[in-house]
Structure formats: C-alpha cells, structure tokens
Amino acid sequence: MNTETTVLSKFKGISEDLLNNGIDVRINSRGLSMFPFIWTGDKITISPEKNLNIGDIIVFKRDDQTVCHRVVRVFEKDGIKYYQTRGDSHFNLDNPTTADQILGKVVRIERECVSLPRRILLFIHPALKFGRLNAIVISALIKIKNICLNRH
C-alpha cells in the first residue's frame, strides 16, 4: 500500500467517523457517474441525515469504495428497507443498499468555473431523465466542443 492510498484510507475513516457522530463532511468529488449534476472537483457537503427520498443523492459504502449516486427506488423486503440507486450518467441500476451502508445525503454542491457546454447540460438535465438521451446529448456536446477547439 503506497503513501497516497494510506492517506486516502485514513481520510475516509475519519470522514465516516464524523458522519457517524452527526457531523457534516465536505469533500471533493471524483468520477463522472453523477455527470452533469456533479463533476470531478465539485465540493460536496454530506450530512448524516437518514431521512431519504427518491431523487436524493446519497453517499454509501460498497465493498471498499465510497459511492455517491441518486436514489431512484425505495422498497421493503422481509422487513428491511432497501434503497436502489443509479449514477445520473449510468444506464443500469446499482445493487440495492441498506440503511447501514449509507453514510449520508448530499446537501450542498459547490463548483467554481463552469464552462458553457456544462452550463447547457445543467440547464437541460431535468429533461434527460436518466435515459439513453443523456448519453447521446453528452456525446454530441463533446463532439461540438472538439469541433470548436479544432477551428482555433
């Protein structure tokens, strides 16, 4: 295990401890699974709040990873409440998550400089509704961006 991995592991442990003790945590996000709503580098504030509804963005543990995805379904089976999630830019649902795996709910997203293609995506995001259209629009905007960059 290298030094960076050790530091990240300790930081995750500290963050989990803070959330378990009722304290909000603010972290930098990584990955594109929640694009266009959350982008790599956005600062997200996670609250240990457990009152969750469909549409909420939650942070939960899956194996050794910490995942930030949107709740798309809540159901109960054999007396246990399950939360089904999916990243906004993913086609498939995640395996159901139980309350004991959930670290908290994203209550704030902060970003700095926002490019024009990203502003467009953020504006039309409600119309995309988690479907194939999302991937098509993202692909088209990337192509348009590349064409514009090649002209200069």
CATH code, domain with 77: 2.10.109.10
Strands, sheet with 25-28, edge to edge from the N-terminal-most edge strand: 25-28, 43-47, 102-110, 57-62, 65-77, 80-86, 97-98
Domain count of the fold of the chain: 2
Residues 94 and 139 in one domain: no
pTM: 0.67
Name the amino acid, one letter, at 121: L
Q: What residues make up the domain containing 28?
A: 3-112
Neighbours of 76 (CB within 10 A): 8
117 and 50 together in one domain = no
pLDDT per residue as tens digits for the range 17-68:
777 778 788 888 877 888 888 887 788 899 988 889 999 999 998 888 889 9
Same domain, 104 and 133: no
CA 44 to CA 118: how far, in whole Å?
17
Q: What is the mean pLDDT of the chain?
A: 79
Q: Are residues 79 and 9 in the same domain?
A: yes
